[in-house]
Structure 1
Amino acid sequence: MCGIAGIFDLGGVRDIDRAALKRMTDALAHRGPDGEGFYFAPGVGLGHRRLAIIDREGGAQPFHAQTGGILTYNGEIYNYEKLSRRLQENVRLKTRSDTEVLAEGLSRDGPEFLHKLRGMFAFGFYEPDTHRLILARDRLGERPLYYAETNDGFLLFASEISAIAASGLLDISLDPRAIADYFYYGYVPDPKAIYRGVYKVPPGGWIAFERGKSPRHECYWRPVFTNGPALAYDEAAEMLRAELDDAVKAQMMSDVPLGVFLSGGVDSASVVSSMAEAKGAITACTIGFDETAHDERAAAREIAVKFGAVHYEDEARADSTALIDRVAAAMGEPFADASALPSFQVAEIARRHVTVALTGDGGDEIFAGYRRYPFFLGEEKLRRLAPAPLRAALFGPLGALYPKLDWAPQFLRAKTTFQALAQSSAQAYADAVAINLPSRIDLLLNADFKRTLGGYRPASLIEEAMERSGAEDPLSRAQYADLMTWLPGRMLVKVDRTSMAHGLEARPPLLDHRIVEWAGAIPPEYKLQYGQGKRVLKDAFVSRLGADYIARKKQGFAPPLRQWMRQAQDNPALRLNASQHWRESGLFNESGVDAMIRDHRSGRADCAQELWSVIMFDAFLRTTRR
């Protein structure tokens, strides 16, 4: 994996600020510790930081195609050898790198070449003859790419937002709508970024910039849920097993040590079993917690032994506030998924042994593994029994009056269910994926900030995604929304930033686009039935993993926030008492936050997630504004 950056004159051929581009690549040094390169021409500068994985001698960048284009690229093209054989009918390739294949393919076919790629990538490709710059991103958004325009008409692009800021060419200020998105979702969804005027190239999209012309935005891929003619269920399970075996084998290509992140779940265990089928040596890395409810090391150990993996384990420092600033700095934008802490630590452990790690990411989104899916489908059945006005009149007051029973057994915590039944399907699902509900956010943020939003509702992003899905069944609409928002904005950001902070490349075989497309075409009940998700994935691998392992109860991969923020020592909530960053930001209702700290520490209420959102926003301010 690598870091890319560039500066492009949108209006002419002015000199490029070389020192600014150097600052940008320096900010990406962790992504590419193995080398640095630059290309400069009138009106354009491209930079690259390299983590050498394939053809360590011949894949240096920016890469000059024989037919004229110049490429700075971050990613892996898993079918590059097949593509190279086709390209060599017209051009004699000089290296055995996927970089050259991508550069020559783009020179020959332009953005149409994207349809032929199997892999993860983000790149800038400059065509000197036409003075055109193309920015593109892989189908699912595995690799990041930010861009921004300066006041004097230069385009900046980079793998991370920290590199955009490091250029010194952009006036940096926070975007109020992105802040609102963050406190609702726990991350800033694409295509927004936390700073005004900075954007992300959308997953499955490309943008062409030409001097004196408006940018051309194109979408070349979107997930489709056809639910077409069904395969027999047993045939579908067999086909999925073969597809994952193929994807894992393709993603095991590497000239450097390769391993796998192994949790106690079905997804990563299935990947390990497919690695064993490929007959490769397996190095597995696992991290656990000292609290049994959050610790999956025993289950991971079982899989490691079964498939003969060399297994490295460690225990997460779940009570280490010192880790918070390191993670916040790696993320670059505010990010409130607490599982980023153990993800950061397992990447740190893995990098001691390997340079590339396969992961089990994507299984929950593709095969409906999240607990929220069956809850959402149950609510949908009730919504169909009564018209919206009747539901709002009945369940709205119940949701408002029912107490928030954080301490009670699950079946008594009905407040959110009543609230969901009073809402539309899309609004209810948006709240289901939200990290903080609007009523709780109102207690955190002050009235002056809320007025700047002009009525903007973060939930509208999920509502629009579900509307665009074109799917008829509720599960497919929810999955489509997750693939367009949650997956690229939260899950893949976490994997990319925490791994690349240590110069480690992470690859998720379950997100091979052919598997995603295949999963979109099978019936919903193959994925979720009788409240059990990932049905076809589990049945595809039960013969390898064992029925007892498949039946294990799912455990979370996150530190125990509720207990952590009630400790007398090393309590992250206490950081907020001492920090002035969040208080001086002008965003918060300070008395509301202080009350949440008191209520949570006393046990009167569970405010762990709300407080964590403030803690990580405070850490973002601290680490980016030194």
Structure 2
Amino acid sequence: MCGIAGIYQLKTQATPEPLVLAKMNDSQWHRGPDAGDYFFQPTVGLAHRRLSIIDIAGSPQPMQSANAQACIVFNGEIYNYRELRQELLGKGYQFNTNGDTETILNAWLEWGEDCVHHLRGMFAFAIWDSSRHCLFLARDRLGIKPLFYSLLDDGQFIFGSELKVLRNHPDFVTTLRDSTIEDYFSFGYIPEPYTIYQHSYKLAPGHTLLLQHGQAQLSEPKQYWDVPTQWQHAVTEQELSAELITRFREAVDIRLVAEVPLGAFLSGGVDSSAVVAMMAGLQSEPVNTCSIGFDSPQFNETEFARQVATRYNTNHHENIVSQNDFELLDQLADLYDEPYADSSAIPTYRVCQMARQHVTVALSGDGADELFAGYRRYKLHLNEERFRNWLPLAIRKPVFGLLGKIYPKLDWAPRFLRAKTTFQSLAMDTVAGYHNSIAILRQDQRDRLFSTAFKQRLNGYSSLEVFRRYGSKVQHLDPMKIAQYLDMKTYLVGDILTKVDRASMAHSLEVRVPFLDHKFVEWAFTAESGANLRNGVGKYSLKKALEPHLPADVLYRKKMGFAVPLAEWFRGPLQQKLQDKLLSDVMINSGYFNVAELKQLIDDHKRALKDNSAALWTLLMFAAFLERNSK
């Protein structure tokens, strides 16, 4: 696992300035503390920070091909590199190292842009080909590894593993993109392919980008993979369970290759426990497992993690942290580089910090909820969809639209009385309704929050357009598959994988994600929706398959999540900090907000009239970003 960076001069033959590239690369030192080096030729400069995992003594980067035609900087792991190596040796290619990096180089020389189809793993890489005078960038299919880029006004194309790499170029433009601010206050992150900055982008998962010297503007990235949306079903429950375990065990197995200490996160939930169960059956040594708990029973899952650790006799490491662990608040803006509002970033940071004391590589259970419909919101979405099918939109829209407007937001009431969001969603179609239900601040709340001037600049743009863009590709699927697809394109990559990448890399820890093996995803996403959500039980097919491997109270207990007590923080120890940050000069002078609404949100929460903790945290993280960005 590493950090990559580079500069490509599209308009001139000049060699990029070494000191500029060094400053960019040094900003991501944490991603690769073991080594770092540079490659320069006229028009191009490549940089790398290395965290050594495979072929520790060899595989330095930037790496040139044996014939010196191509040079690569690469972040990630290719799990089928040994098979590819043998295939390419058979075609006459030379190898000077024993790692996976050189395999990508020779795959490029053999297959060109199609090389990505031969790679199984997580990756972000850039290849400079001197004979073709081109720079080729690629990102893995699910977006496990990040890749940012920008075209500067003078024709310099810059890229890096984190947004801070780009920001450390002296000519980087820090003008903010208005539409992504609207997106952020809906989703809590900036969805692909945009960043918070007007002229920088994320290379979207499953995409490549080819640049030729002399081109006047960037070409559109090319998509090479997507989640499958066409299939046929013909398996029994028993057949599904058997194949699931076989395929998942193989996805875990290929991720156990490392020349450094390797282990797994173990939260006590289904997904991480499934990973540990498979690992225990695949290696002779005890699995290294890492858990954190909280000093509040409401948020503590350690007893379930211990059950799994005991069952599989793992080498278990556990750390208990305070539920009032908010000292990381001021670091989060530096960690994520753009507004990011998932408060579980704090415990994720802590578990990565603790894990790094024992291992260099950790396997995680991320991706299972999106793949097997584990989130509670899928059940709610299906309930709403049944009602939509029963009552035509022409009737629903006026009736429930009115109810959604006049019904109060009753956060203090029993759940069955908190119907405002549901009424709003029932007045919408499938995609719009799901967007409304998952939004941190709904459209009516954003309308009140944003200033008149900012709304005029948005010119009618809504974050719903993000969902519309993806939803148009899967209109033929059933409502739950549509929701899962939307989450895999947005929430999974923009929130979950971003959170884990930044938190783990802050501690030079590599995290591998077997549930997101693309071959496993291609198979698992084809399971019927009824196999995943049955009788109100999410991830039913996964849990059923795991019954021989995990205790029932791990499999079927209520999902807890990796939460922190925001509501209590904002009425207690963080009350003054919240008010100071949200009503600071940088927030008020930004021009984005209706200041009266900011004060109302704070006051209503402080007086316990409403639970505005999610909205307030989102605002607090935005304030931290603005403060950092103004320096």
**How high is the TM-score relative to the length of structure 1?**
0.97
Instruction: Summarize the alignment of residues 486-525 of structure 1 with structure 2, pairs less than 5 Å apart.
Output: 486-525=491-530
| 1:245 counterpart residue number | 249
Q: How many residues are matched?
A: 626
Task: For residue 364 of structure 1, give the secondary structure of its aligned residue in structure 2.
Answer: helix
| 2:232 counterpart residue number | 228
- Which of 164, 173, 176 in structure 2 is aligned with 1:174? 176
Return 5+ residue gaps in structure 1 as ranges.
none
CA distance in 1, matches of 2:386, 2:128: 52
Displacement of 1:470 after TM fit? 5.0
- Which of 581, 596, 600 in structure 2 is aligned with 1:595? 600
Displacement of 1:570 after TM fit? 7.1
The alignment status of 1:424 with 2:429, answered yes or no, reads yes
The alignment status of 1:86 with 2:87, answered yes or no, reads yes
State the one-letter code of the partner of 1:309: T
State the one-letter code of the partner of 1:88: L
Task: For residue 39 of structure 1, give the secondary structure of its aligned residue in structure 2.
Answer: strand
Structure 1 residues 341 and 601, CA, compared in 2 at 3 Å: closer, same or farther?
same
Q: Cα deviations across residues 252-276 of structure 1 (Å, max 9, x unaligned)?
A: 1111111111112100000000010
Instruction: Summarize the alignment of residues 533-612 of structure 1 with structure 2, pairs less than 5 Å apart.
Output: 533-568=538-573, 572-576=577-581, 579-612=584-617
Q: Cα deviations across residues 355-408 of structure 1 (Å, max 9, x unaligned)?
A: 111000000000000111111111111111122110012111111111111011
CA contact (8 A) 1:264 1:297 kept: yes
Return 109-118 or 577-586, whichever deviates more: 577-586
CA distance in 2, matches of 1:578, 1:338: 21
| 2:275 counterpart residue number | 271
CA distance in 2, matches of 1:216, 1:593: 39
The alignment status of 1:57 with 2:57, answered yes or no, reads yes
Q: Cα deviations across residues 494-542 of structure 1 (Å, max 9, x unaligned)?
A: 1101111111111111000111110122211111122221111101111
State the one-letter code of the partner of 1:40: F
- Which of 257, 264, 272 in structure 1 is aligned with 2:261? 257
Task: For residue 37 of structure 1, give the secondary structure of its aligned residue in structure 2.
Answer: strand
Displacement of 1:621 after TM fit? 2.3
CA distance in 2, matches of 1:317, 1:330: 21
CA distance in 2, matches of 1:444, 1:57: 55
Displacement of 1:54 after TM fit? 0.5
The alignment status of 1:369 with 2:374, answered yes or no, reads yes
Task: For residue 384 of structure 2, give the secondary structure of its aligned residue in structure 1.
Answer: helix
CA contact (8 A) 1:329 1:624 kept: no
Q: Cα deviations across residues 175-223 of structure 1 (Å, max 9, x unaligned)?
A: 1111111111100000000001100111000010001235252111000
CA contact (8 A) 1:395 1:422 kept: yes
State the one-letter code of the partner of 2:8: F
Instruction: Summarize the alignment of residues 368-447 of structure 1 with structure 2, pairs less than 5 Å apart.
Output: 368-447=373-452
Displacement of 1:469 after TM fit? 2.1
CA distance in 1, matches of 2:73, 2:244: 34
CA distance in 2, matches of 1:414, 1:91: 64
State the one-letter code of the partner of 1:165: R
| 2:103 counterpart residue number | 101
CA contact (8 A) 2:287 2:315 kept: yes
Displacement of 1:574 after TM fit? 3.9
Return 214-223 or 341-350, whichever deviates more: 214-223
Q: Cα deviations across residues 413-466 of structure 1 (Å, max 9, x unaligned)?
A: 111111111111111111122222122222322111111111111011112211
| 1:116 counterpart residue number | 118
CA distance in 2, matches of 1:255, 1:408: 54
Structure 1 residues 21 and 41, CA, compared in 2 at 3 Å: closer, same or farther?
same
CA contact (8 A) 2:173 2:199 kept: no
CA contact (8 A) 1:175 1:194 kept: yes
| 1:6 counterpart residue number | 6
The alignment status of 1:153 with 2:158, answered yes or no, reads no
CA contact (8 A) 2:15 2:40 kept: no
Return 311-320 or 409-418, whichever deviates more: 311-320
Percentage of matched positions with identical amino acids: 41
CA contact (8 A) 1:465 1:481 kept: yes
**Root mean square deviation of aligned Cα:** 1.5
CA distance in 1, matches of 2:6, 2:376: 42
Displacement of 1:29 after TM fit? 0.4
Displacement of 1:547 after TM fit? 2.2
CA distance in 2, matches of 1:624, 1:506: 29
CA distance in 2, matches of 1:306, 1:52: 32
Structure 1 residues 258 and 175, CA, compared in 2 at 3 Å: closer, same or farther?
same
CA distance in 2, matches of 1:434, 1:188: 13
Task: For residue 29 of structure 2, give the secondary structure of its aligned residue in structure 1.
Answer: coil
Return 71-80 or 439-448, whichever deviates more: 439-448
Task: For residue 225 of structure 2, give the secondary structure of its aligned residue in structure 1.
Answer: coil
CA distance in 1, matches of 2:580, 2:268: 32
CA distance in 1, matches of 2:259, 2:505: 18
CA contact (8 A) 2:80 2:119 kept: yes
Displacement of 1:103 after TM fit? 1.2
Displacement of 1:233 after TM fit? 1.5
Displacement of 1:238 after TM fit? 0.8
CA distance in 2, matches of 1:40, 1:147: 19
- Which of 437, 454, 457 in structure 2 is aligned with 1:449? 454
| 1:312 counterpart residue number | 317
Task: For residue 376 of structure 1, give the secondary structure of its aligned residue in structure 2.
Answer: helix
- Which of 291, 295, 298 in structure 1 is aligned with 2:296? 291
CA distance in 2, matches of 1:533, 1:511: 18
Structure 1 residues 567 and 235, CA, compared in 2 at 3 Å: closer, same or farther?
same
Task: For residue 306 of structure 2, give the secondary structure of its aligned residue in structure 1.
Answer: helix
| 1:183 counterpart residue number | 185
Displacement of 1:573 after TM fit? 2.0
State the one-letter code of the partner of 2:182: A
| 1:135 counterpart residue number | 137
CA distance in 1, matches of 2:98, 2:427: 59
| 2:306 counterpart residue number | 301
Task: For residue 544 of structure 1, give the secondary structure of its aligned residue in structure 2.
Answer: coil
The alignment status of 1:202 with 2:204, answered yes or no, reads yes
CA contact (8 A) 1:327 1:498 kept: no
CA contact (8 A) 2:288 2:316 kept: yes
Task: For residue 369 of structure 1, give the secondary structure of its aligned residue in structure 2.
Answer: coil
Displacement of 1:302 after TM fit? 1.1
Return 132-141 or 565-574, whichever deviates more: 565-574
**How high is the TM-score relative to the length of structure 2?**
0.97
Displacement of 1:575 after TM fit? 4.3
CA distance in 2, matches of 1:46, 1:389: 57
CA distance in 1, matches of 2:60, 2:286: 28
Displacement of 1:322 after TM fit? 2.5
Task: For residue 278 of structure 2, give the secondary structure of its aligned residue in structure 1.
Answer: helix
CA contact (8 A) 2:366 2:513 kept: yes
Return 5+ residue gaps in structure 2 as ranges.
none
Task: For residue 318 of structure 2, give the secondary structure of its aligned residue in structure 1.
Answer: strand
CA distance in 2, matches of 1:360, 1:300: 13
Displacement of 1:572 after TM fit? 4.8
